[in-house]
């Protein structure tokens, strides 16, 4: 299932994509319960297919199964009736949010593609190198990335994002994939001079409006192999990165096993799994994002994350 989070009437609402329509799963499930004669459909829907993504993920596979029933119910309805009852909307009518707007944790993996490590002049590590991002940095597909006034060195990093669906501590490689709810697209936009002023990456990776994420959360049943996906990053239509997740040094199970050794993973956690070669700061001459640019990251089956770039001065 292809899920998204959008804003409607000041609320964050979870929805599914059905063709060119967006289906509100919570309201659709309430309509299904009501049609079947159940009592208090809204309360049943809130408990079974919550309208908020973290609550939905915490319920595990059962919520996804019931969401599929709700989606099938809307498919059986006349489209005009579904829209009248506020169950379905054109995609163009919704304002996207990041698919998990407030993840408990965002953990990013550095140097996870050999060619990227090579272009950066860095050695490969024997274990995954990880650093944290703060949820406040996230922006949705379509929203602007902000180039800060303190630096012109704003760089792109297209990445596969893994969204955790089941809590776990000291998760083994063999069990790791059962903890994954789905996948999305991430752009780990980086302010390079701030990244390299010190040995750790926190400052350069956590500027305001520097974490594009989305547009969708695609459930694991729709991704046959997360280690066989093409990743392409374009700036103003020109390809800058062209890689495949098969080239990751550390695969998803290894990353999950490593992270869960030292911290418990929770539903809604986001793991950005690293970027292929082709970043801007190692080009000759170096290239950086400028106001007016459009940066796009596409991953097979997961959609395209598209963001304009603006200058921080435009926010004044």
CA distances from 51 to 27, 65, 184, 217 (A): 8, 15, 19, 15
Q: What share of the chain is helix, strand, coil (3-state, %, to 5)?
A: 30, 30, 40
User: Between residues 279 and 80, which one has the greater pLDDT?
Assistant: 279
d(C-alpha 188, C-alpha 313), whole Å: 22
Q: Pick the closest to residue 101 from 64, 138, 141 (CA basis).
A: 138
> What pLDDT score does 123 carry?
81
Q: How far apart are CA 214 and CA 160, in angstroms?
A: 10
In this structure, are residues 194 and 316 in contact, taking their beta carbons and an 8 Å threshold?
Answer: no
Domains and CATH numbers, the chain: 2-96 (2.30.30.230), 100-315 (3.90.850.10)
pLDDT at residue 117 in the model: 84
Is the per-residue pLDDT at 119 higher than 90? no
Work out the percent of the chain whose per-residue pLDDT is above 70: 100
Q: How confident is the model at residue 232 (pLDDT cuts 50, 70, 90)?
A: very high
Note whether 304 and 298 are within 8 A (CB): yes
Position 51 pLDDT exceeds 90:
yes
Give the model's pLDDT for residue 187.
Answer: 98
Q: What is the pLDDT of residue 198?
A: 87
- Which pair of structure tokens corresponds to residue 240? 């800058």
């Amino acid at each position: 299932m292809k899920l998204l989070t959008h804003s409607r009437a000041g609320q964050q609402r979870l929805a599914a994509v059905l063709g060119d329509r967006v289906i509100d799963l919570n309201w659709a499930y309430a309509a299904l319960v009501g049609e079947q004669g159940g009592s208090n459909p809204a309360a049943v829907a809130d408990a079974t297919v919550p309208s908020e993504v973290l609550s939905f993920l915490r319920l595990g596979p059962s919520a996804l199964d019931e969401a599929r029933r709700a989606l099938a119910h809307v498919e059986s309805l006349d489209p005009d009736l579904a829209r009248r009852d506020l169950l379905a909307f054109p995609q163009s009518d919704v304002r996207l949010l990041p698919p998990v707007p407030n993840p408990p944790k965002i953990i990013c993996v550095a140097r996870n593609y050999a060619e990227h490590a090579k272009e950066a002049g860095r050695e490969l590590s024997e274990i995954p190198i990880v650093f944290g991002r703060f949820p406040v940095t996230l922006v949705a597909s379509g929203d602007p990335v902000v180039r800060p006034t303190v630096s012109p060195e704003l760089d792109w990093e297209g990445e596969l994002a893994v969204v955790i669906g089941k809590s776990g501590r000291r998760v083994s490689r063999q069990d790791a994939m059962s903890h994954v709810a789905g996948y999305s697209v991430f752009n780990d936009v980086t302010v390079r001079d701030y990244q390299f002023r010190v040995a750790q990456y926190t400052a350069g990776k956590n500027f305001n409006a520097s974490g594009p994420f989305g547009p969708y959360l695609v459930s694991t049943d729709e991704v046959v192999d997360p280690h066989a996906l093409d990743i392409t990053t374009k700036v103003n239509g020109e390809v800058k990165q062209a890689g495949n997740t098969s080239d990751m040094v550390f695969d998803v199970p290894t990353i999950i096993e490593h992270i869960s050794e030292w911290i418990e993973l929770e539903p809604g956690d986001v793991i950005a799994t690293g970027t292929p070669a082709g970043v801007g700061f190692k080009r000759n001459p170096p290239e950086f994002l400028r106001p007016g640019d459009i940066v796009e990251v596409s991953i097979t089956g997961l959609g395209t994350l598209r963001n304009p770039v603006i200058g921080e001065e435009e926010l004044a």
